[in-house]
């Protein structure tokens, strides 16, 4: 019996748990879309942490060293691991090796998002917790229960943005939320007090070496996150215009979704904060038909009427939400994750623009189903406070792309090997359609880096290309034949 007990202890020794483990602040991010570039990051006082993971409790994918970078407190480091392309809608099992305690942490799980080519997915939006941890815990746990594909957090994590103790409070209050959700952050005005500290916290897509503004494709949507603390930056504006222009000409994109901290229209305490940029940022939203804009900054919930300053004027909403030249944007302020609430100013110059105002802690849940979007806002008791459906059914763009993308959920006809890649790759495209095909490769900003016409004479089209001369990061490749467009993503290491 002693020999058997010894063998069991020896076999389980790799997985023993040290109650005094120093690993904490686990959070999920991505350098690209939810399945390509998925990253887990954690904090520790060790020097060489590792991770083991797989799709079963045997961690069959193996053990891997983590990449280390400086944390925000003395002696503490951030460790991260970037997964290869992960399987969609699947439980991922993982465990961290604590190099300080010299032991493996207990097993944990994370549910991956639906396929990148789906037309049915969900996301949540919230922001502005600052130094109110108990409310943050309540609201963020409600978001976690929604089991969304991703979450947009629209800034102001702390009151000062320079205090390690405040960030520690945030991580403790939101620990369950961060460990179970893929979160895309934008920087608030309070976070901007130390933008380098904020930037170092999160693993996000990058644009020109910064993660303070970026974009990514997911499903039939493009998500664009902006740094409204630097709204006058000409480089950011040009990037925004180019990204929206590319999205507007891409028939596979049905929804254009933008998030940043400061709101253009509101009747709370921050009326007028973005007025100076109505002729730049907001004009770009109107020019290229942005559908939804998500903000924080005002500590309440607000939703606008349809707004299009190109088609109307300040003081007059347009008749309908949508992305055509006569339809308007839907702006949502969901700034109720904990910070002290702001009352409505009925005398605000923006009173004409706000359809719904609610002084309550809140979050917003958005469900995309092909050509329809359902926006629902809830308070801290999970009571519904607003509901809206955006419907593009019957529009030419949606008729051409929406049905095709729904078919792709079960089987994407595009396969890429290898992926991730180091330069050369081979794409196979399998379909019954034959004739002339256009192959386009886009970078993470939506810019076309290659466009070629080929003849598809059989069911299977084989295409070879070498990306080694291009910047590392995420790319998408599309095959366009008539009104049909199929897309897939790849990562250049």
For the stretch 270-326, pLDDT in tens is 999 999 999 999 999 999 999 999 999 999 999 999 999 999 778 999 999 999 999
Domain end point (choices 111, 137, 171): 111
Distance CA 376, CA 327 (A): 21
Domain end point (choices 73, 88, 111): 111
Could you tell me if residue 9 is inside a domain?
no
CA 246 to chain centre: 19
Indicate which CATH number applies to the domain containing 309: 3.60.21.10
pLDDT value of position 420: 79
Indicate which CATH number applies to the domain containing 472: 2.60.40.3080
Could you tell me if residue 405 is inside a domain?
no
pLDDT value of position 2: 39
Q: Return the C-alpha torsion angle 101, 104, 106, 107, nearest 10.
A: 150
Domain end point (choices 398, 421, 452): 398
Which helix (H) or strand (E) segment holds residue 369: the answer is strand 362-369
pLDDT value of position 12: 35
Look up the pTM and report it.
0.79
Query: 422 is in which domain, residue-wise?
Result: 412-492
pLDDT value of position 412: 59
260 and 394 share one domain: yes
362 and 420 share one domain: no
pLDDT value of position 7: 35
pLDDT value of position 104: 96
Closest CA to 448 of 401, 480, 426: 480
Could you tell me if residue 3 is inside a domain?
no
pLDDT value of position 483: 64
Indicate which CATH number applies to the domain containing 75: 2.60.40
369 and 427 share one domain: no
Residues of the chain with pLDDT under 50: 1-19, 400-411
Could you tell me if residue 6 is inside a domain?
no
pLDDT value of position 76: 95
Bridge partners (DSSP) of residue 330 are: 292
441 and 379 share one domain: no
254 and 283 share one domain: yes
> Which is it for strands 301-304 and 255-259: parallel, antiparallel or unpaired?
unpaired
């Amino acid at each position: 019996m002693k020999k058997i007990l010894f063998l069991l202890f020896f076999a389980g020794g790799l997985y023993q748990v040290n109650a005094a483990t120093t690993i904490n602040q686990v959070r999920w991010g991505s350098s690209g879309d939810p399945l390509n570039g998925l990253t887990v990051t954690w904090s520790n006082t060790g020097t060489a942490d590792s991770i083991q993971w797989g799709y079963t409790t045997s961690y069959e994918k193996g053990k891997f060293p983590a990449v280390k970078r400086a944390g925000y407190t003395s002696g503490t480091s951030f460790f991260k691991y970037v997964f290869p392309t992960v399987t969609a809608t699947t439980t991922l099992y993982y465990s961290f090796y604590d190099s300080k305690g010299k032991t493996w942490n207990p097993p944990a799980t994370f549910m991956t998002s639906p396929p990148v080519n789906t037309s049915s997915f969900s996301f949540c939006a919230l922001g502005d917790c600052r130094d109110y941890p108990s409310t943050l815990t309540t609201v963020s746990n409600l978001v976690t229960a929604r089991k969304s594909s991703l979450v947009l957090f629209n800034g102001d994590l702390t009151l000062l943005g320079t205090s390690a103790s405040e960030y520690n409070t945030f991580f403790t209050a939101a620990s369950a939320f961060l460990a179970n959700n893929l979160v895309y952050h934008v920087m608030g005005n309070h976070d901007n007090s130390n933008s380098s500290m904020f930037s170092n916290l999160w693993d996000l897509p990058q644009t020109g070496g910064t993660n303070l503004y970026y974009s990514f494709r997911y499903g039939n949507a493009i998500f664009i996150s902006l740094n409204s603390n630097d709204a006058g930056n000409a480089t950011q504006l040009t990037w925004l215009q180019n990204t929206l222009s590319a999205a507007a000409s891409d028939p596979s994109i049905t929804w254009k979704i933008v998030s940043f901290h400061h709101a253009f229209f509101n009747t709370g305490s921050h009326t007028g904060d973005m007025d100076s940029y109505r002729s730049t940022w907001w004009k770009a939203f109107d020019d290229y038909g942005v559908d939804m804009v998500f903000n924080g900054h005002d500590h309440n919930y607000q939703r606008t009427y349809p707004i299009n300053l190109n088609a109307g004027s300040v003081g007059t909403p347009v008749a309908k939400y949508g992305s055509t030249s006569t339809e308007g944007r839907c702006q949502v302020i969901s700034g109720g994750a904990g910070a002290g609430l702001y009352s409505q100013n009925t005398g605000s110059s923006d009173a004409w623009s706000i359809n719904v105002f609610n002084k309550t802690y809140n979050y917003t849940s958005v469900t995309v189903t092909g050509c329809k979007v359902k926006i629902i806002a809830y308070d801290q008791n999970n009571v519904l406070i607003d509901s809206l459906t955006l419907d593009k059914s019957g529009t030419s763009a949606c008729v051409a792309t929406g049905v095709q993308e729904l078919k792709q959920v079960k089987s994407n006809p595009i396969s890429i090997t290898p992926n991730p890649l180091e330069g050369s790759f081979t794409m196979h495209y399998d379909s019954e359609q034959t004739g002339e095909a256009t192959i386009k490769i886009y970078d993470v900003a939506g810019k076309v880096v290659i466009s070629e016409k080929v003849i598809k004479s059989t069911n299977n089209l084989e295409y070879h290309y070498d990306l080694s001369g291009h910047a590392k990061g995420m790319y998408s490749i599309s095959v366009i034949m008539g009104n049909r467009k199929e897309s897939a993503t790849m990562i250049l290491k």
